[in-house]
Amino acid sequence: MAQTTCVGIVLDIQRYSIHDGPGIRTVAFLKGCPLRCDWCSNPEGQNSNPEILVNGDACINCKKCEHVCPKRCIDITPQGPVLEQINCDGCMQCVNHCPGGALMVSGKIMAANELARQLRKDEAFFRESSGGVTLSGGEVMLQASFCEAVLAEMKNDGISVVIETCGICRWEDLKSVARQCEMILYDIKEMDPEKHKLFTGADNKVVLENARNLIREDFPVIFRIPLIPGRTATTKNMKAIALFLSQNGYNRAVYLLPYHNFGEHKYAYLGRSYPLSGAALLTEDQLDVLASCFQTYAIPVIIGGQAM
């Protein structure tokens, strides 16, 4: 019997990153996420399947998409194409016939060895900078088998791999993937389970269980905390996270990730409103106050920057 090729859905490949692990890295974003965080900067990565994005500003009003859509899911308006996502079956005929680039596909089905070939193109930069590949998302652990297959390809070439995860997954899957990684960048967003569910759509029970397991089994985990105004960026939350990490024997730095709105425009491409529209960025003084919450537990803090 022929061996089945492991395939996954890849959202994007970003080259020359310096904020997703040590050195210069190439980041492969995998599609699909179990969370729906209010502040998500990659909303096009939430859905596990390929989907169509609409950029009305690029529409040239040729109406080819209207004519080729077998389901009649598209109407051309003065603001550009309007896609009825409910009826769309993802045939992509509209995208294939759009000369202006107003219709785009989010997500590509790729074999693990195909993705590995793309990632190897930057190997010279990895060697020079002690960098490597980072698998991100979405949430990589939704495609754990694909993730492991890509990791195996990278390890065969001696390329270091980092993963970024929200921690909502089976422990056995996470453990298997983590064993192959140089580093696990792990988000802890909110300690209060009800608030976590309100902000992200799921409680944090599995997040904290897997965090404990990673620390206990001495995996190279680095915890990161997104600082979201009106959500996670409170001294109460920071102190609770600091206490949790201290009680579980964590002795590395934590990375505080200040809120930004770089992904806001993507919500319009999906026909969605941005939940944090108008939210103010945190000031340096506010960031310093939040960082000081970790001093009691002697946990080093890095605000933004590169995980080392």
CATH number at residue 56: 3.30.70.20
Number of independent structural domains in the chain: 2
- Give residue-wise pLDDT tens across range 123-148: 999 988 999 999 999 999 999 999 99
Three-class SS state of 186: strand
Instruction: Give domain status of residue 178, yes or no.
Output: yes
Residues 57 and 17 both lie in one domain: no
Q: Which carries the bigger pLDDT value, residue 88 or residue 178?
A: 178
Residues 165 and 293 both lie in one domain: yes
Residues 204 and 80 both lie in one domain: no
CA of residue 41 relative to chain centroid, distance: 8
* Neighbour tally for 200: CB within 10 Å: 25
Q: In this structure, are residues 251 and 281 in contact, taking their beta carbons and an 8 Å threshold?
A: no
C-alpha distances out from residue 156 to 23, 132, 152, Å: 20, 13, 6
- Give residue-wise pLDDT tens across range 199-227: 999 999 999 999 999 999 999 999 999 99
DSSP per residue over 207-236, as a string? HHHHHHHHHHTT--EEEEEEE-TTTT--HH
Residue 51 has pLDDT above 90, yes or no: no
Task: Give CA–CA dist 281/141, Å, rounded.
Answer: 30
Instruction: Give domain status of residue 2, yes or no.
Output: no
State residue 59's pLDDT score.
87
* Neighbour tally for 3: CB within 10 Å: 5
Give the distance between the most distant pair of CA atoms in the chain. Answer: 64
Residues 273 and 206 both lie in one domain: yes
Residues 85 and 153 both lie in one domain: no
Residues 142 and 173 both lie in one domain: yes
Q: Which stretches within 22-74 are classed as H helix?
A: 64-68
Reference 232, options 279, 199, 208, 184; nearest CA is 199
Tokens encoding 125 = 């930069």
Find the domain containing 91 and state its range. 51-105
C-alpha distances out from residue 268 to 52, 83, 265, 271, 280, Å: 12, 12, 6, 5, 20
H-helix or E-strand containing 164? strand 160-165
> DSSP 3-state helix, strand, coil percentages of the chain (rounded to 5)?
35, 20, 45
CATH code of residue 37 = 3.20.20.70
State residue 87's pLDDT score.
79
Residue 3 has pLDDT above 60, yes or no: no
Residues 147 and 191 both lie in one domain: yes
State residue 305's pLDDT score.
66
Query: Which 3-state string (H, E, C) describes 73-133?
Result: CEEEECCEEEECCCCCCCCCHHHHCCCCCCEEEECEEEEHHHHHHHHHCCHHHHHHHCCEE
DSSP 19: S
Residues with Cβ within 8 Å of residue 179, at least 6 apart in sequence: none
Phi, psi of 170 (to 5 degrees): -70, 135
Q: In this structure, are residues 36 and 204 in contact, taking their beta carbons and an 8 Å threshold?
A: no
Q: What angle do CA 186, 189, 190 make, to 5 degrees?
A: 135
Q: Which range in 51-60, 61-70, 162-171 is most confidently predicted, on average pLDDT?
A: 162-171
Q: What percent of the chain has pLDDT over 90?
A: 70
Residues 134 and 116 both lie in one domain: yes
Residues 193 and 266 both lie in one domain: yes
Residue 1 has pLDDT above 80, yes or no: no
